[in-house]
Amino acid sequence: MFMKRETTENTYNNHPIMTDKENNLSCDTRILEKIDAQFKYAEQNKRKIFFMRYDVRLPDGVQLNDNKIFRDFQANFMKNLSRQGLSPQYIAVREQVGDNHPHYHVALMLDGEKTRSIHSHIRTAKKLWDSALDLPPQTSGYGLINDCTKDSDGRRQENGVLLSPGNPEFQQKKDDCFRRASYLAKTNTKGNVPKWQREVFTSRIPK
């Protein structure tokens, strides 16, 4: 199990994060550290960064005791993106509330010189998740892959942000993306996984 280190501060390394000190809503600094590392590596190795989010859910009645199906799906999705030359980087977390079945949140960074839209990537993710679950293709539209174009209240939100280091708006846009990624670090839905199961997954950063 991933051990938490909590913060209720409203920034991490000068980036805004989703916390609320008055309501004791905190983020896990160990996850924030991994998010920060992925952003830094992306800046060092991509002239432009395309940032997007997606969520992965299970059909009703399907339970998971481990993360194998998700790990296999994520590996296949990253291979697909790599074959397109998109140099994918990601951080993902497993969450569940009580005994309810788990779901996964993912933040993804791609080569922004080669892609500008989330739509084809979300379609691919849906197909690969259906295949991983051995589901018929018609289930693709049933919300198992959430494209994160609406917030928790159903309001439209941007998903798919191009970060160009030379752009005057780069820092503001990066901060906005970091804040959205910090949603993965919220602590109130962590700690409910079966014993010895991972809650956090990231792409490898070469040393």
Domain boundaries, the chain: 27-202
Identify whether the C-beta of residue 10 lies closer than 8 Å to the C-beta of residue 149.
no
Burial label, 206 (beta-carbon count in 10 A; 0-12, 13-18, 19+): exposed
Instruction: Give percent of the chain with pLDDT exceeding 90.
Output: 68
CB distance 198 to 67 below 8 Å: yes
Assigned token pair, 154: 């159903």
How many CA atoms, within 13 angstroms, populate the side-chain half-sphere of residue 180?
26
Residue 164 pLDDT: 95
Q: Are the C-beta atoms of residues 52 and 106 closer than 8 Å to each other?
A: no
| Predicted confidence (pLDDT) per residue in 181-195, tens digit | 999 999 887 766 667
Please tell me the number of Cα atoms within 13 Å of 27 on its side-chain side. Answer: 25
pTM here is 0.92
Residues contacting residue 175 through CB under 8 Å, at least 6 positions apart: 15, 16
Segments in the chain below pLDDT 50: 1, 141
Say what the pLDDT of residue 1 is.
Answer: 46
Average pLDDT, the chain: 90
